[in-house]
Amino acid sequence: MGLEEKLPSGVLLTTVEGVAGYMRKASFWPATFGLACCAIEMMTSGGPKYDTGRFGMEVFRASPRQADLMIVAGRVSQKMAPVLRQIYDQMANPKWVLAMGVCASSGGMFNNYAIVQGVDHVVPVDMYLPGCPPRPEMLIDAILKLHDQVQHTKLGANRMKQIEELETQRLSALPTSDQTGLLR
C-alpha cells in the first residue's frame, strides 16, 4: 500500500522540478529573429490557422529581455552574427534556441564567405529544424519537442550535474572522422 492510496482524492504529488518544468514549457515567449524566407513560415505559425497561442506562445516578443526562446529563421550573415549573439546574451536565463531551416542549421546552399555555416557557431542550439523552408506544422512539432526537453530539465545543483554528465558524454564520443559507419 503506497502513499498515493492513503491520500484523499484530489491530492496531487509531484516535485518542485516537475512543477517548474511544466510552468516553463507552458509559457514560452519567443524572440523573433527572422532573417530570410523561413521567417514567413514562422509568422504563419502564429496566425489563426496554426495558432501557437494554444501552446503558451501568444505573442512573439520584440525585446530579448522578455523572451526565453530564440527562433533563428533563415541564413545568418557574418555581419548579423554579432547582433544575434548580443540579442542572445540579453535574454534572461533559462533560454533556448531553435535553428529553423537548413540555412540556420548548416548554411544551406549558401556555402560562401558571407554566410555563417550554422548558427551553432554563434549561439548554442537546442533544437534543429530542417527544411527549406520548413512548414509551420514542422515548427510547431519542433516547439513541442523542445517543450518536452524543457519540462524534463533539472534545476539548481541537479542541473549542473546534468550539464557535466552531458559534457563528459559528448567529449568521450568518437570523432566522426574516426567512425567506420558500422554500428557498435
Residues placed in the known binding site for [4Fe-4S] cluster: 37-38, 103, 132
Binding-site residues from annotation: 37-38, 103, 132
Which candidate, 104, 107, 65, places its Cα nearest to that of 88? 65
Residue 70: DSSP 8-state: E
Grid cell of 100 as nine digits: 529553423
Q: Hey, what amino acid is at 36?
A: A
Place of cell 533544437: 127
What's the rounded Cα separation, in Å, for the pair 73 and 65?
Answer: 19
Helix (H, G, I), strand (E, B) or coil at 69: strand
**CA-wise closest residue to 124 among 72, 64, 176, 175:** 72
Burial class (CB in 10 A: 0-12, 13-18, 19+), 89: exposed
Residues 97, 100, 101, 105, Cα dihedral to 10°? 0
SS3 at position 120: helix
